[in-house]
Structure formats: C-alpha cells, structure tokens
Structure 1
C-alpha cells in the first residue's frame, strides 16, 4: 500500500478499502489522487494496477470501431472535427453494408470481441436505423463478434429497436463533468445524454460511457466527472485524451501532459474498481508508446485497436504485441457475453 509522504493517512486508508473491498473512491478522494506529485506516480500506478488485477483480472478487452456516417454533424461539440458547424477538414461520408462487414471481419482477426458502429449525428433518423439494422444482420450472418453502437441520443422506440437487433453495448459519452459541459457543447445538454443512458440501461443493453479529459476542465471538475461516472455504474468507460483538432474551438488547447494523463487513468480506476476502463483516443499523442505501457500497468484493462474516427491510432498489431509482452491475455468472446 502507499507509504510515501505525499499520501495522507485518510487517502491511504481509502485506497486500502478500494483494494480490499472494491469500493471506489469518492469525488473528494479522487481529487486528492489527482493532486499527488509526480514522485508519487509510480506508487499510484502500482496501486491502480493491483486494484484492476484484484477486481477485473488480467484479461484485456479489445475493440475495433468504424464510422458508418462521418462528418456533417449538426452539433457543436467543441472537440470534434465532425461538426458541420466548424471549418474542419472532415468530409461527410457513408459506408455501405459490405464495407461494414469487412471492417468487422478485420476487427475480429485481431482477436477483438467488440465491434462498434459509430455515426456522427445528433440522433439516428429512419435511414440510419435501417442501415444499422442491415449492417448488424449481415455481420451476425458471417462473423462471431459482439456488436456495439454509438449513434447519439435515442428515443425510447429506437432503444427498443437496437436491443431487438442484438446490440450488445451502447456507447454514449457524457464527455466531461456536468459543470464543465456547457463549455464544451451548447447544442444539447448533459441531462439529455444522461436520459439516453438511462433508457439503454433499462432496455438491458450494456452501458458504455466515458469522455475526454484535457478539455480545459479543472482538477476539481475531473474528479467531479469520475464521481458522476461512478454514480452511473457503466459497464465500460472509454477514457480519451484531447487531441486538438484544427478548425475546432478546442483546436488551440495544449495536449495534456503525460504525468497528468497517467494520474487520471489511475484515479478513474480507483473510482471505478470493477469497470472496464478502456484506452481510447489521444493516448498516442499524450502518452506515446512508453506511456501506453505504463497505463496498461496502471489500471487500464481494455483498448481500442487500429484507427479512431478522425485520428490515427497505433497499428492493431502493435497493441496486440504489447499485450503479449506484458503477458495480458485478450478476453475471449464467451467471457464478454
């Protein structure tokens, strides 16, 4: 357990509770973790890794994602180059069903158990729902993989349709703390996103909900966000680090420092000891290869392999090789059902 002078007795006791009982840190305790100095980082990452191993095990869940509908989104998410409101270089495009099937096939070849179909929309219209239904049916006919979706905000009827299609997990990120959300998005509210997540949970699909750190939020707001995610109890939390996109309102922000990113990884693991915590976008810029290794040994137990929606990721083979080197087995499909 932590023994350095940087750790208060109260924080040391709280972390002992997380490891022994699987009870996550409170918002105020997460803030203490985020304020730890760099010389406490190795100790912190070691504790977060022990918590991950104790409550999640050594397996790593691998996922691939594909954009069914790219660009032209009517929302003004300040971090996103797919917004049609900004002078960003992403063009609107659609994939057809054969392209979706091929993307799922290539994802499955990596050993991934999850394939997520994503669309840049406020919420799906009838055309998009029909395309998703056709794509899911075609994938299920040919490939043994779980299918997830991320299609924006949903109506109750749409939630029911997706559940009937066999969608395993639905992603809808809260993105940031409720108090910071109006600084990142103005065309819809944090509460609207929360309502979609409530509907997804009630329909029996797994809930995937995370966000992006490094969007100008304070440490207090980062701790607030961790607490709000813990209250939601999602099955998965994808943790993204802002990769500033040219032409967006956040395009001039400085990327998060490596130590701050790793502190955040560990803090979220201690707030969410039993949750799938996934390395997602921005880790290549923020952490690089060495930092990615430290994150996997500091609380992360899932990765997105290959490219993201508008930015390049690491080659899938590099992540798979790293997992092998770290002796972290890829979670089998039957363990995720």
Structure 2
C-alpha cells in the first residue's frame, strides 16, 4: 500500500547513489552458500534472514535469481499458504501535501501536475463496491497529508460508517502521522489496518524526506500496533539507496513485525526531485522481492506501485511465484496500475486462490 508513506545518515542530496547491477558481486563469507543457509533457516524453521544475510542474498550473481525466487516461493507457500490477498485503494484527499517526500507528486512544494482535490462519501462507497466486486477483501482510504486534522478525521469517520453499512469489505486507512487520540478514534471506527510506510532505510531517509523524520513515522507505527490495529508498512525501492541500505531496510521492517509490507518501485514523477531517476532494473527488483520474503517469511508481501513499469507482465508473474502473496488491483493514487482483470486472470492461470473475507477476520 502506498502512502499501503538518522542519526548516522549522510547529508541529504538528490543525486542517485550507484547501486551497480543487481545480484552481482559477493558478500563476505556467506554469498556462495546463503541460499543453502536460507533453506534450512527460513524454509525449515521459519526464521527470517538477518541484515547481513539479506545483503548476501542481494549480492548473489544474476544466474542464481531463479534459484532465489524458487526458494522464496517455497517459503511463502509453507509459512503463508497459497492464498493471495487483493486490495483496492482510493485517495480521499489528493495533492497539496505540505511534506517534501522527493518521490511524491502530491507534495504542494513541487511543480507537479497533481492538484488538491477531495472525493465525497458516495463516491468512496461506490469505489468500495467496485473493489469488492473484484474479490478484494481490503479497501484503503488514503489522504495526502502530514497528519489528519479534525475535518479529515470527520470525513474518514463518515466514510468508514457508510462503507461498512453497504459493503462487505475490510476498511484500512493511510492518513499520515497520528496522535494517540487519532489512533484510538480509528480503532473505534472499526479501521482494522493502518498503512504508514517507512519508505526506505533509516540511514537513507534524509535523502528522501527533510520535513519530518524516520523516527516520527516509526512512532505512529508503534502506536498503531499497540492499539491492536494491523500494521501495514513498506516503502519504495529504487530511490538511490545502496544495496546495503536495501538489506538494512528489510531488517528494520522485520524488527517492526508488520502484518503487511507493500513493495513499491519508484515510478519517477515529473516535477519531483526524483523525477529524473532511472527505473530500477527488473533483475534488481525481483532480487529484492525474493530477499524480502526470506527476511519476512510470515508477512503479507504486497505488489504495489511501480511494478508495471519496473517488471512488466512477465515480472509480475515471476514475483507472484517468487514470494509475493498480495496485490493492489486497479490504479494507484496518482499513477495507473494494471487493469484488475489482468491481475485476477493471472492468479487464475497460476492457480493462486484469492483470500476470502472470512480468512481476514
């Protein structure tokens, strides 16, 4: 889910960090046998890989990518099962955000084509109905804000009530950083999952956002988890981070123990500071899918934004057979996704059943 959005960091800049070709080189001491280690540790015992082990996986040569994805698929099947969770998302409030997330065209600080707009309650209910018709069990209401004000919380409360009255679907939210009172209010509304992405490794975060900190985001996630809501937290790959920072990010997510991790790949947006970055190579993206599955063996790992331009149709299939067990269907917040029918047909072809609503309760 996209926004399911340092102390030791280098100064922020907007120059992409060189990552090299995915799956090349070695990591000291373990690269040659890391998949054998992962087979025993993750597949056999359900214990996720450490930061150093994830780095070793990401450092494997390209020719071992099929072996990695095959192992990741086996891990997913053993510890999560064959079901795929389907979700739709919609933006209640688009554009005009005061934050400077360098990847996001909804920031009011950048010269992007996205302008501020609100969707009314009937339109949200209709969107939830259409999402449910795809077989989806999740419908996420998203707002482009630093955090919700009183008006937005009132809109969300009315939307959740209206959707729950007419649509048999779980309602999730992504509303930025929260106070404890706002967390409690969302629980009272019946919101069962909250998305707030950490976006990237802690050490790389200042290169991506300067108007708030990684720790502020983590504080919201801690409150959400402590309140009993499910935690959805992931990020975007391909924002100039190093291979080491990708391993760092996977380990940080594993420490958080989120219920769901959305995997986004940067789709450079015109007018944003990251608008000129190159699209992540497909081999690197697929290596990250496999590595994150080995770090998070029991977590819902969801294909989210950017997979269409990064992976294409074949890559989507490889990802679902390489550790992914959830997808966002339809469009994203400001970019186009694959038609829902294409993803649903792919799941049928791969004999991957859609998770039923009663399995999410």
1:162 aligned onto 2:176: no
Aligned-pair distance for 1:38? 1.1
Structure 1 portions without partners, runs of 5+? none
1:27 aligned onto 2:51: yes
Match of 1:61 in 2: 85
Match of 2:195 in 1: 171
Selected match of 1:309 from 333, 340, 346: 333
**CA distance in structure 1 between the partners assigned to 2:143 and 2:249 by the alignment:** 24
Q: Contact 1:15–1:270 (CA<8 Å) still a contact in 2?
A: no
Selected match of 1:278 from 279, 298, 302: 302
Aligned-pair distance for 1:324? 0.3
Give deviations 1:90-118, integer Å, cap 9, x for gaps: 01100000000000000000000000000
Match of 2:61 in 1: 37
1:194 aligned onto 2:215: no
Match of 2:229 in 1: 205
Aligned-pair distance for 1:10? 5.0
**CA distance in structure 2 between the partners assigned to 1:274 and 1:225 by the alignment:** 17
Q: TM-score, normalised by structure 2?
A: 0.91
Q: TM-score, normalised by structure 1?
A: 0.98
1:242 aligned onto 2:271: no
Matches within 5 A, 1:120-135: 120-135=144-159
Aligned-pair distance for 1:16? 1.9
**CA distance in structure 1 between the partners assigned to 2:48 and 2:34 by the alignment:** 14
SS at match of 2:324: coil
Aligned-pair distance for 1:142? 0.4
Structure 2 portions without partners, runs of 5+? 1-25
1:143 aligned onto 2:167: yes
Selected match of 2:104 from 80, 103, 107: 80
**CA distance in structure 1 between the partners assigned to 2:357 and 2:37 by the alignment:** 37
Aligned-pair distance for 1:7? 5.0
Give deviations 1:37-62, integer Å, cap 9, x for gaps: 11001011000000000000000000
**CA distance in structure 1 between the partners assigned to 2:313 and 2:292 by the alignment:** 21
Give deviations 1:290-320, integer Å, cap 9, x for gaps: 0000000000000000000000000001000
**CA distance in structure 2 between the partners assigned to 1:13 and 1:126 by the alignment:** 51
Aligned-pair distance for 1:181? 0.1
1:107 aligned onto 2:131: yes
Give deviations 1:4-55, integer Å, cap 9, x for gaps: x995235522332100111000000000111111100101100000000000
Task: Report runs of 4+ in structure 1 exceeding 3 Å deviation.
Answer: none
**CA distance in structure 1 between the partners assigned to 2:170 and 2:94 by the alignment:** 22
**CA distance in structure 2 between the partners assigned to 1:92 and 1:16 by the alignment:** 51
SS at match of 2:87: strand
**CA distance in structure 1 between the partners assigned to 2:180 and 2:82 by the alignment:** 37
Match of 2:76 in 1: 52
Matches within 5 A, 1:216-235: 216-235=240-259
Matches within 5 A, 1:251-270: 251-270=275-294
The more displaced of 277-286 and 35-44 is 35-44
Match of 1:91 in 2: 115
Matches within 5 A, 1:318-337: 318-337=342-361
**CA distance in structure 1 between the partners assigned to 2:131 and 2:200 by the alignment:** 29
Aligned length: 333
Selected match of 2:95 from 71, 79, 89: 71
